[in-house]
Chain A
Amino acid sequence: MDRVVFESVRKVFRHRPALFNWLGRERGGETVALQDICFSAARAEVLVLLGPNGSGKTTALKLISTMLLPDAGAVLVGGCDARRDAGAVRRQVGIAIAAERSFFARLSARENLDFFASLDEVPRTERTQRIKEVLRDTGLEEQADTLVMKFSSGMYQRLGIARALVKRPSVLLLDEPTRSLDAATTAHFWATIRGLARQETTVLLATHNFAEAAAVADRLLLLHRGELLANRSLGDGENAETLRSFYFRMTGEIDEMNL
């Protein structure tokens, strides 16, 4: 059975200009973030959502996490509807979003993880061990007891991944997870992702990094301006370059690097 299913999902953001900005240039209107999107992700699959800024990748992840509700269609996780049974969906999903400061600044990394693990109902008897494991997996062991207000961007990002992993979700959502990571940590992280998939975790990863997509993806969704341009498996021998040319061919954008 598919673990994550999008059935004709549409998401629109309506915006009004700020008060007293009527005289300015800001205008009301709406942005169609996702337009009738259908796809599914199977158990143990790494699905990469590839697309430029504003293509709808983060919106898709937020819909799965229940941070957002769809305007039309249905998002199902493990057979549970994200709109009607949000609690059951949240129990299955872990998300690492791009917001670096989404931690409690005056708590250490370990204390932050313990706090979020409590809210995720990780049993107390397992909590210490699990936190130790995710701190090791994300290379934060040495900074475990440092207040996160002293963290760098990369360390915040690793802690966000650790937070998503500590509940051992069956569906892991990652939004540009290696954006601020150095090369060695990135390589280690990609290996971790593949390891999680081998342990039956479904991973949905949003990125615009071709190397990342080639390194971890079983399948690729190409999103562009809220539309799904492609949904295909990655074959053997595909690499960042082949993905790059595929991306520019499909989106019609100009690849200035290869002009």
Chain B
Amino acid sequence: MTSTLDKLRAILWRDLLTAVRHRSGFAVTMAGVFTELAAFYFLSRAIGPSFRPSGIEYFPFLMVGTGVYTFFVMSAQAFLSAVQEAQQTGTLEVLMTTTTAPAELVVLSSISAFAGNLVNLLVYLFAGVAVFRAAIYANFLSCALVMILSLAIALALGIAAATLQVAFQKGSALVWLLGSGLWFLSGTMFPIQSLPRPLELLARAVPLTYAIDGMRRALLEGQPIAAMAPTLATLAGFGAVMLPLALAGLALSLRRARQNGTLSFY
């Protein structure tokens, strides 16, 4: 356990140093946060106060939807980019010869990628509340639980992207699907009830839908854990199935890559 925490510390420190030494990166991210929030703020004003999806003001509805959605996509993208870069530089091969088991290494690395984007999400939500006056009535315990369960799903997606990258050099396909196809199926910008019935059913099979809905209810409506039990149970179910599957897929793809000598193919 001490050893795992020490490795996590080393990975977090590596990623933090790399991020802060990209001097312009932080400023660009912050500029992006404010630009996006400003766009959504004025969009909600243009639509008018009468549009209240699920009984929530439209700007906070958008803020939570896009914040959680961006967290998922950017985290998977960040993790995938790290894997791709490691393949290109040859770091991946060297990492696979360290004493740390490949699966442990991948999970710890993905935690680090997600931690960075969790900070971005918190900044995004804080800026939405502090600067654009989004009304929130948070139940922080519910928020934390939704976030933890969502993290398991996000980790699984990141690991699945890494698996596709190692196996077929096509991890970007999953990120593309997340980035292009899922935003309108997951209730990011409008309630899924607005979709035609077949698409609504499809949307209910997307874990991101429950993460966004759960966060809205916890952060904007202050719902307690008991009231959110079905959503939390669904998120837990997705995580319990997706994470072991993703890890098994990764182990298989790494073994196949070591057999075929394609670990550093990209």
- Quick one: which of B10, B11, B18, B258 contacts A68, CB cutoff 8 A? B258
Q: Provide the B140-174 mask, 1 if CB < 8 A to any CB of A, else 0.
A: 00000000000000000000000000000000000
Given known pairs A14-B260, A67-B258, A147-B21, the reply for A119 and B91 (CB within 8 Å) is no
12 interchain pairs (CB within 8 A)?
A13-B260, A14-B260, A68-B261, A87-B99, A91-B99, A95-B94, A103-B89, A106-B21, A111-B17, A118-B6, A118-B9, A121-B99
For this complex, into which size category does the number of interface residues on chain A fall? 35 or more
A251 at the interface (CB under 8 A from B): no
List the A side residues contacting B7 at CB < 8 Å. 118-119
- SS of B interface (majority): helix
B133 at the interface (CB under 8 A from A): no
Q: Provide the A88-114 mask, 1 if CB < 8 A to any CB of B, else 0.
A: 001101010101011111110001001
- Quick one: which of B10, B91, B96, B258 contacts A114, CB cutoff 8 A? B10
A101 to chain B, nearest CB (A): 4
A114 vs B14: C-alpha distance when bound (angstroms): 10
B108 to chain A, nearest CB (A): 9
List the B side residues contacting A13 at CB < 8 Å. 260-261
List the B side residues contacting A107 at CB < 8 Å. 14, 17-18
Which residues of A, 175-227, contact B by the 8 Å Cβ criterion? Answer: none
Closest 4 CB pairs of A and B: A99-B90, A118-B10, A102-B90, A119-B98
Which residues of B, 1-33, contact A by the 8 Å Cβ criterion? Answer: 3, 6-7, 9-11, 13-14, 17-18, 21-22
B52 at the interface (CB under 8 A from A): no
Once the chains bind, are B9 and A102 in contact (CB under 8 Å)? no
B-side residues, CB < 8 A to A, are: 3, 6-7, 9-11, 13-14, 17-18, 21-22, 89-91, 93-101, 105, 255, 258-261, 263-264
A164 vs B264: C-alpha distance when bound (angstroms): 19
- Quick one: which of A14, A99, A103, A147 contacts B93, CB cutoff 8 A? A99
Once the chains bind, are B94 and A102 in contact (CB under 8 Å)? yes
A115 at the interface (CB under 8 A from B): yes
A167 at the interface (CB under 8 A from B): yes
List the B side residues contacting A71 at CB < 8 Å. 259
Q: Provide the A10-36 mask, 1 if CB < 8 A to any CB of B, else 0.
A: 000110000000000000000000000
List the A side residues contacting B3 at CB < 8 Å. 121
